[in-house]
Structure 1
Amino acid sequence: MHQFLRFLALLGGLSLLSSSPAYAEANAQYRLASGDVIRISVFGESELSIDEIRLTDAGTLSYPFIGEVRANGRTARELEQILTTKLKGDYLVDPRVTVRILKYREFFISGEVKSPGGYPYQPGLTLRRAVALAGGLTERASENRISIIRDKDPNRKPQKATLDTELEPGDTITIDQGFF
């Protein structure tokens, strides 16, 4: 029974975290890109609402009556404004559009981890937690030789990282071997 109560407390803490102002602020600044999955709702217009759509490799989506819409590099709020503007007048008098991010694009981890590959990004994810998702470090891994390539970096230049580095969607992490 005691473990069950601890579990409920943990769930309550997680829901508080996801509704915290810091979480909301990070989500408001999040820039959409290829691989993100979103929901578009138009109040009172079920035929214009999309429960789940993954952005294309170009960061676009196909929307009824409008066609292809570029979401890449925009926040959910900016996409709401674009859709509202395009729907207003020709289709609806006063459209109320909301865009919600359902799934963030993956980050990738390779090198000296037990299960390298792509994993779903979660807001607030640190490299330490990413390593745990990848099954932990191998016995040859170096905690001092970690590099990260940010998806948003047009030069794709590796940066030095630590286990406390906060990750972003699309990041590519490489953990090198240590020399003994």
Structure 2
Amino acid sequence: MNSLQRLISGLAIMLVVTPFAQAQSNYSMGAGDEVRMTVYGQPELTTEGQINTDGTLDVPLIGVVKVAGRSSGDAAKLIAERYQSGNFLKSAQVNLLVTKYRSQVVSILGKVNRPGMLVLEGSTSLTQAIAWAGGISDAGNERVILIRTDANGRQERREYNLQKQLESEASSNSVVWLQNGDTLYIPNADRFYVSGEVRTPGMYPLDRPLNVMQAIGVAGGPTARASDRSAKLYRKQADGSVKELKAKPDDKVLDGDVMVVQESLF
């Protein structure tokens, strides 16, 4: 198991052990969610129901209350204020608990081990969602594409490097929180090719940053006949043409690069 897989496994455990109350406090309720309401000292007001399609909840005595877009704690405060302002109760202590999450869903597609629809049950980060999907598959890329639709219906595309995002979230910086309707897509892993005087020529996944020397090492290293000075790099250009470059050991390898290690003349 590599370091990236260990980090993702750790996040999967975090998803299981995150306190339920904390998840509730950060979750914005929506239509379809099922809730249970209790009022301290007033057992006859206990009710269970589903948030209506217009975002309202039917509450005993006071009727419908708009709760969509609020956390359960904020909605409980609002209901308590309505009980008091309507002279139903002098000092209302209301508790609202989400019993079934249904309103907020994120799609996770592409090269993950378990693609599917994740129902958000509280604040969920990008990396936690990837952990829920079983992590990136062997054919996947560390690039994560997030597609989000704004309030005006326009789609926005963002890209994140999963390794960097994991490191960032581990230090509680720059956490990417998911929203209802988000789509996460993991594309195929980048590839590079090595041929010529290397021990195991072939195609390899570019699953981490590599320079030319490291890429040759991935291909088993140079053979005894290889030149220690002559390696060619063929790189596709923006216009579709292929450019031949003289490869330097510390040159960064890009997706689609072809390296040819030449034979020594002596």
The alignment partner of 1:141 has SS state of coil
Contact 2:111-2:139 within 8 A present in 1 as well: yes
- How many pairs does the alignment contain? 160
2:188 maps to which of 169, 173, 177: 177
RMSD between aligned residues: 3.4
Letter of the aligned partner of 2:62 in structure 1?
I
Q: How does 1:136-175 map to 2 (within 5 A)?
A: 136-149=135-148, 153-154=150-151, 155-163=154-162, 164=165, 166-170=176-180, 171-175=182-186
Letter of the aligned partner of 1:142 in structure 2?
N
- What is the TM-score with the length of structure 2 in the denominator? 0.48
- TM-superposed CA distance for 1:124, in Å, is 5.9
String of CA shifts for 1:48-104, please: whole Å, max 9, x gaps. 223x54433433222223332211222333312321132234433332112234455
- TM-superposed CA distance for 1:168, in Å, is 2.9
C-alpha distance in structure 1 between counterparts of 2:26 and 2:130, whole Å = 25
C-alpha distance in structure 2 between counterparts of 1:161 and 1:58, whole Å = 35
- TM-superposed CA distance for 1:156, in Å, is 4.3
Alignment partner of 1:75 is 2:76: no
Greater RCO, CA 8 A, separation 6+: 1
Match of residue 55 from structure 2: 59
Cα 1:124–1:77 change in 2 (3 A) is closer
Flag the structure with larger Rg.
2
1:33 maps to which of 23, 30, 34: 30
Letter of the aligned partner of 1:81 in structure 2?
K
Identity %: 27
C-alpha distance in structure 2 between counterparts of 1:140 and 1:109, whole Å = 16
C-alpha distance in structure 1 between counterparts of 2:65 and 2:177, whole Å = 28
Cα 1:178–1:135 change in 2 (3 A) is same
- TM-superposed CA distance for 1:42, in Å, is 0.6
C-alpha distance in structure 2 between counterparts of 1:95 and 1:158, whole Å = 45
Alignment partner of 1:18 is 2:19: yes
Letter of the aligned partner of 1:173 in structure 2?
L
- What is the TM-score with the length of structure 1 in the denominator? 0.66
